[in-house]
């Protein structure tokens, strides 16, 4: 369980430093099912990184008002942990969640 939690911590606070959630999950789903309570397994399965965030919060490892780093900065979706793309530079798209962020560049023109 510790290595799962270590991954969650990394994925939640610095997602670019670890493999995307979908890859990690594909390799570790069976392990998670063994070591976590069923409710947490289901939470992780369906809510992915968001579920991991809730688990860390429940353990008192994250403040209640924790804000995940922006997908624009990390290149990863803060909700599901997969890599995002930014096709036109003003929107961030996640392959799972769709449009997750919209922003307008005011500089660098
Ligand atoms: Zn996503």
Cα–ligand 1 centroid distance for 56 (angstroms): 19
Cα–ligand 1 centroid distance for 67 (angstroms): 15
- pLDDT beyond 80 at 104: no
- Categorize the per-residue pLDDT at 44 as very low, low, confident or very high, splitting at 50, 70 and 90: very high
Chain segment 58-78, per-residue pLDDT in tens: 999 999 899 999 998 899 999
Look up tokens 């996640």; give the residue. 94
What are the structural domain ranges in the chain?
2-102
- pLDDT beyond 90 at 81: yes
Tokens of 80: 């599901």
Contacts of 74 (CB under 8 A, 6+ apart): 14, 15, 16
From the list 78, 102, 83, 81, the residue with the least C-alpha distance to 91 is 102
CA–CA separation, 41 vs 66, rounded Å? Answer: 22
Cα–ligand 1 centroid distance for 13 (angstroms): 15
Strand-strand pairing, 91-94 and 98-102: antiparallel
CB distance 82 to 95 below 8 Å: yes
Cα–ligand 1 centroid distance for 80 (angstroms): 4
Cα–ligand 1 centroid distance for 51 (angstroms): 12
Q: How much is the pLDDT for 108? A: 45
Cα–ligand 1 centroid distance for 10 (angstroms): 16
CA–CA separation, 108 vs 28, rounded Å? Answer: 41
Cα–ligand 1 centroid distance for 97 (angstroms): 4
DSSP alpha helix (H) spans, the chain: 2-13, 21-35, 38-47, 49-58, 71-74
């Amino acid at each position: 369980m510790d290595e799962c939690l270590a991954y969650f911590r990394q994925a939640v606070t610095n997602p670019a430093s670890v493999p995307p959630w979908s890859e990690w999950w594909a390799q570790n789903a069976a392990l998670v099912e063994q070591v976590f309570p069923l409710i947490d397994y289901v939470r992780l399965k369906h809510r992915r990184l968001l579920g991991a965030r809730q688990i860390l919060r429940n353990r008192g490892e994250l403040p209640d008002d924790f804000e995940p780093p922006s997908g624009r900065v990390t290149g990863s979706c803060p909700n599901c942990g997969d890599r995002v793309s930014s096709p036109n530079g003003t929107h961030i798209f996640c392959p799972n969640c769709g449009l997750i962020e919209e922003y307008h560049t005011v500089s660098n023109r």
